[in-house]
Amino acid sequence: MTTAAHVVELRDVHKQFEEKNVLNGVSLVVNPLDRFVIMGQSGSGKSTILRLILGILPLEAGQIFFKQFEITRLNPRKLQQIRRHIGMVHQYSALLSSLTVCENVALPLEELTDKSNAEIKEIVESKLELVGMNDACNQLPSELSGGMRKRVSLARALVMDPELILFDEPTAGLDPVISSVIDELIISLAEKHKVSSVIVTHEMESAFRIGTRMAMLYQGKIIAQGKPEEIKKSRDPVVAQFLSGSTQGPILEGTPDAIPA
């Protein structure tokens, strides 16, 4: 086992659901402190990539590494240990509706550690403070706005002091101002706590605000990968169409959504 420079690496990953090839040879490298953005159309397999990194889905072929650990080869006990170092912010926040904000945030600590109640309370309070939600401790998720739920979900992802955080559409469904606030929060937390992150999004403004490196997923493959300025300059017609949001170009060709030129 060698010491790895990357935090996450996917090598030639293939993933099928029934007959459908969702990932068809995906390779990418996330380096330490990267805020690595994965862009792509709805249904292109972005959430699938995050689930594969977490080791909660099997794959057909290829390899996935978290640091020096090959996720796809770990036994369940080891995988469970590794997962403690990875925080996840789900696409729809995924807070438990019957638990208060504080109970939701405390959950990973209660399930995965033997910390005392006093220690847990202290950690929960400090993480809620980081995301500006310390006044909401006793509220239920249903009493919060979408942006507030995202913050709580972010606090929950931070309680185990992860080395890597996976964000699935962190700003989906939020208004533009709150989206910017969440983006800034992601950036400042990542910088302050020296965590690496993978952010899945199809919102271009967010992608370019947050990303230090980015990749574009299309038809099961990464068709462009690099720094934001490199992606912006890409001559690939699919990348260009995605960035501009144009209805003209290869993305809709041959689909029922295509608009005649």
Ligand X SMILES: Nc1ncnc2c1ncn2[C@@H]1O[C@H](COP(=O)(O)OP(=O)(O)OP(=O)(O)O)[C@@H](O)[C@H]1O
Q: Which residues bind ligand X (CB under 6 A)?
A: 17, 22, 40, 42-48, 202
Q: Is 41 among the residues that bind Mg ion (CB under 5 A)?
A: no
Does the protein bind Mg ion through residue 47 (CB under 5 A)?
Answer: yes
**Interacting stretch for Mg ion, rule CB under 5 A, among 39-47, 82-90, 104-112, 135-143?**
39-47
* CB of 220 vs Mg ion, minimal distance in Å: 15
Q: Identify which of residues 104 and 201 has a Cβ nearer to ligand X in the complex.
A: 201
Cβ at position 242, least distance to ligand X in Å: 12
Which residue's CB is nearer to ligand X, number 16 or number 180? 16
Per-residue tokens: 66: 């978290």
Q: Which is nearer to ligand X, 134 or 219 (CB)?
A: 219
Residue 3 partner contact from ligand X, Mg ion, none using kind-dependent CB cut-offs of 5 to 8 Å:
none
Nearer residue to ligand X within complex by CB, 47 or 134 = 47
| Calpha distance 23→20 (Å, rounded) | 9
**Could you say which of ligand X, Mg ion, none residue 45 binds, taking C-beta under 5 to 8 angstroms by partner kind?**
ligand X
Q: Which residues bind Mg ion (CB under 5 A)?
A: 47
